[in-house]
Structure 1
Amino acid sequence: MIKSLLFIHLFFATLWVGGMAYTLLFLRPSLREIQENQRSGFLKRVYGRFFLAVWLSIIVLFLTGMGLWHGYRRDFSANFLFHLKLFLFAIMVLNFVYIYFFLYRKNKLSAIPNLVAINFLIAMVIYLIISWIA
């Protein structure tokens, strides 16, 4: 059961972080080749699909994370770095909520990549923390 939870947790973390890497490293540079009038509609569709995956990832990461923490690694409760990881995850979620409700839903698409970059950097810090405490 624990191995299944860990696999699901890692899969959805990879889905979210991989989507951010794709957005920043491949999608954003390629958009320069698309005309401005086509760019907005295209981005709205791409972000719409990706943001559904992010919402699902947030839910699954929270549930599987709690299962792993309480069923597998109770010693994390006393580890400062683990609590820092939880705090950074909360910051990522709040940042995404802002992206979704205040930028995406209001069609302010040009500001999204900068905040995605912030979440991507936070995710890299979380990966470092997990590799230190695992």
Structure 2
Amino acid sequence: MTFHHLMLFLHLLGVIVWVGGMAFAYLCLRPAATALPPAQRLPLWGDVLARFFPLVWIAIVLVVGSGFGMLNEVGFARAPKAWHLMLVTGAVMIAVFVAIWFGPWRALRTGVANENWAAAAVALNRIRQRVGFNLALGVVTTAIATLGLGL
């Protein structure tokens, strides 16, 4: 096993956890949870996200650390153009997650704790919109990484 293989494994592990978790939440859990009344649905989402979001922080550390490890190995100037583009899309994804963490995630937790279902629902909808954006950007980033796309 080479350094590059280890970095690639850690990078993919982080991506799988983050993008795969968003895909599961957005495409599977969300449609199923809509059958529940707000007093059940919103605490469920609070519990799910309380478990998922710490994993996202770990995934970010893995993706950023391994990405810079691979970039450092080949040199920034010699890295493929796709890597540079992935660096930009990844930075946007991190910024969106940080905005979720410090914005609607706090509001969702407060709304659920106070049983203010209207406020919690507004916060969850904001999270949903941002996760939808990040999921789409994660798929585009994966395409950039794997399909070449003339880069």
Does TM, scored on the shorter chain, surpass 0.5?
A: yes
Aligned equivalents of 2:4 and 2:82: distance in 1?
Answer: 22
- Cα 1:70–1:18 change in 2 (3 A) is same
Q: Tell which structure's C-alpha radius of gyration is larger.
A: 2
Q: What's the counterpart of residue 134 of structure 2?
A: 119
Q: Which amino acid aligns with 2:21?
A: G
- Cα 1:86–1:42 change in 2 (3 A) is same
Q: 2:26 aligns with which of 24, 36, 41?
A: 24
- Cα 1:80–1:4 change in 2 (3 A) is closer
- Determine if contact 2:8/2:66 at 8 Å carries over to the other structure: yes
Provide, for residues 20-66 of structure 1, a one-character-per-residue CA deviation record: whole Å limited to 9, x for no partner.
10011101101112121111111111001100010111111111111
- Cα 1:49–1:98 change in 2 (3 A) is same
Question: Deviation of residue 114 (structure 1)?
Answer: 1.3
Give structure 1 stretches of 5+ with no counterpart. Answer: none
Question: What is the TM-score of this pair, normalised by structure 1?
Answer: 0.90
Question: Deviation of residue 78 (structure 1)?
Answer: 5.4
Count matched residues: 133
Higher relative contact order (CA 8 A, sep 6+): 1
Q: 1:2 aligns with which of 1, 4, 28?
A: 4
Question: Deviation of residue 2 (structure 1)?
Answer: 2.1
Aligned equivalents of 1:51 and 1:93: distance in 2?
Answer: 12
3-state SS of paired residue (2:21): helix
- Cα 1:38–1:95 change in 2 (3 A) is same
Give structure 2 stretches of 5+ with no counterpart. Answer: 109-122
